[in-house]
């Protein structure tokens, strides 16, 4: 299974094509819209999210509520396009008029300058339109297809906020998966810890007031994965590596860790590796889950626990120094609108990109043309693992 996305932030629409989904899987636009709506919410978002109402139009690959096995095409319209039609339309324009509207002032921390140098654009609108995290709506649509598949296979996934601007939510190991999903949905910062929720909101409000931005850490948990998904035999079949790639590729993400992650470097092996235990009912398990569900690029059968670090949003109301690419004059970047914190939204994006990688690995390992055959094969494999 693979996917491609196309579309600019203020262009007509975002398009996603997902190829390789088995035939006969129940799928409706409601499955996808629920995910798109969650991505739009979250404390700290700017005015753009009041303009957009992300709804998917499934244009191919689904009939009467079931997948056909053919590519699934999905479109999400940009409602903001109506304000940008003359700037973002595909027809040639009056060059003199266009030069006046050219973006020549790169923002520190965004893709503007590097993208302009790479593609030879003097108008950095050509960069910012596609480098914008608007594209994550298209990625969430692809991930929602994957998530629907995982849910039907008894694999559940949730994303939430672990930390914002150094304010950390305590882990809640006592919560069931259903409770985690419920609490992540209920909180406007997607945090499972009620006691720190308000502190996080206050930190976001303060950053906004200061014209600044803040980042944080998102966390994703996956439960119900059997052991042995992924592979150790080649670098690009290691599932933890693929998940790390997917998470790192989310706009503004600067790092990824599994389980205790970087803390592992500070502990002796005896305090890191998870002891192996066995019981008649459950088969093999680990006593702890410090390694976050992976050993040797394969799932261990323990919950997958992955964190991703998001840097603060680059576009700031508080000016940072930059240099105009035409005049070479130093200027202080000033902006019209931006998010001040998008960590809660990014937790939803992360949940969906992780879901996609897991679903992709499953489809590589089991029969993948017919959904019912896939379900039977997974059930059978789970039993084999239990009796191993």
Ligand X SMILES: Cc1cc2nc3c(=O)[nH]c(=O)nc-3n(C[C@H](O)[C@H](O)[C@H](O)COP(=O)(O)O)c2cc1C
Ligand Y SMILES: C=C(O[C@@H]1CC(C(=O)O)=C[C@@H](OP(=O)(O)O)[C@H]1O)C(=O)O
* Residue numbers at the binding site for ligand X (CB under 6 A): 46, 110-111, 131-133, 136, 250-252, 313-315, 338-339, 342, 345-346, 349
Q: Return the C-alpha torsion angle 240, 243, 248, 251, nearest 10.
A: -170
- Contact flag: residue 132 with ligand Y (CB under 6 A): yes
Binding partner of residue 215 among ligand X, ligand Y, none, CB under 5 to 8 Å per kind? none
Count of other CB atoms within 10 angstroms of residue 47? 11
Which stretch, 130-138, 264-272, 298-306, 373-381, contacts ligand Y (CB under 6 A)?
130-138
Distance of CA 224 to the CA centre of its chain: 20
Query: Both tokens of residue 314?
Result: 């680059």
**Closer to ligand X by Cβ: residue 126 or 251:** 251
Nearest to 242 by CA among 327, 306, 148: 306
Q: Half-sphere exposure of residue 100, counting CA atoms within 13 Å on the CB side?
A: 4
Q: How far is CA 251 from CA 50, 109, 143, in A?
A: 21, 11, 16
Residues 38-67 that bind ligand Y (CB under 6 A): 46, 48, 52
Q: How far is CA 377 from CA 29, 109, 228, in A?
A: 27, 46, 14
- Contact flag: residue 194 with ligand Y (CB under 6 A): no
User: Contacting ligand Y (CB under 6 A), which of 9, 16, 213, 375?
Assistant: 9
Taking the complex as a whole, the smallest distance from the CB of residue 189 to ligand X amounts, in Å, to 14
**Closer to ligand Y by Cβ: residue 62 or 103:** 103
Strands 294-295 and 167-168: unpaired
31 known member of a binding site? no
Binding partner of residue 183 among ligand X, ligand Y, none, CB under 5 to 8 Å per kind? none
130 known member of a binding site? yes
User: Contacting ligand Y (CB under 6 A), which of 1, 76, 133, 229?
Assistant: 133
**Closer to ligand X by Cβ: residue 106 or 292:** 106
Q: How far is CA 105 from CA 122, 132, 233, 323, in A?
A: 10, 16, 47, 7
Binding partner of residue 111 among ligand Y, ligand X, none, CB under 5 to 8 Å per kind? ligand X
Q: Is 219 helix (H, G, I), strand (E, B) or coil?
A: strand
Strands 276-279 and 330-332: unpaired
Q: Which residues are annotated as a binding site for FMN?
A: 130-132, 251-252, 296, 311-315, 337
Q: Which residues bind ligand Y (CB under 6 A)?
A: 9, 46, 48, 52, 132-134, 136-137, 251, 337-339
Q: Which residues are annotated as a binding site for NADP(+)?
A: 39, 45
């Amino acid at each position: 299974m693979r996917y491609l996305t196309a579309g600019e932030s203020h262009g007509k629409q975002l398009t996603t094509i997902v190829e390789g989904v088995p035939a006969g899987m129940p799928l409706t636009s409601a499955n996808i819209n629920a995910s798109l709506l969650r991505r739009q919410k979250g404390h700290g978002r700017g005015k753009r999210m009041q303009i957009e109402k992300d709804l998917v139009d499934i244009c191919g690959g689904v009939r009467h509520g079931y997948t056909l096995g053919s590519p699934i095409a999905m479109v999400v319209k940009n409602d903001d396009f109506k304000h940008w039609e003359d700037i973002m339309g595909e027809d040639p324009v009056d060059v003199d008029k266009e030069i006046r509207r050219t973006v020549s002032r790169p923002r520190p921390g965004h893709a503007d300058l590097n993208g302009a140098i790479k593609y030879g654009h003097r108008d950095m609108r050509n960069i910012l339109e596609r480098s914008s995290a608007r594209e994550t709506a298209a990625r969430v649509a692809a991930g929602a297809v994957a998530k629907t598949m995982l849910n039907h296979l008894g694999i559940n996934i949730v994303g939430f906020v672990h930390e914002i601007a150094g304010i950390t939510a305590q882990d809640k190991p006592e919560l069931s998966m259903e409770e985690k999903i419920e609490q992540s949905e209920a909180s406007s910062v997607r945090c499972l810890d009620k006691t720190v929720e308000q502190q996080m909101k206050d930190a976001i409000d303060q950053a906004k007031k200061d014209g600044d931005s803040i980042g944080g850490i998102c966390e994703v948990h996956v439960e119900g994965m059997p052991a042995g998904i992924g592979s150790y035999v080649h670098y690009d079949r290691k599932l933890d590596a693929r998940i790390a790639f997917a998470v790192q590729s989310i706009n503004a993400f600067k790092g990824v860790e599994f389980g205790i992650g970087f803390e592992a470097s500070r502990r002796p092996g005896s305090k890191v590796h998870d002891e192996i235990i066995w019981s008649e009912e459950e088969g093999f398990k680990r006593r702890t889950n410090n390694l976050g569900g992976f050993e040797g690029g394969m799932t261990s059968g323990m919950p997958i626990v992955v964190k991703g670090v998001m840097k603060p949003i680059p576009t700031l109301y508080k000016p940072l120094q930059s240099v105009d690419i035409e005049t070479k004059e130093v200027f202080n970047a000033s902006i019209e609108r931006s998010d001040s914190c998008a960590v809660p939204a990014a937790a939803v994006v992360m949940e969906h990109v992780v879901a996609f990688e897991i679903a992709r690995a499953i489809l590589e390992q089991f029969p993948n043309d017919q959904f019912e055959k896939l379900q039977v094969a997974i059930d059978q494999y789970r039993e084999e693992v239990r009796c191993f």
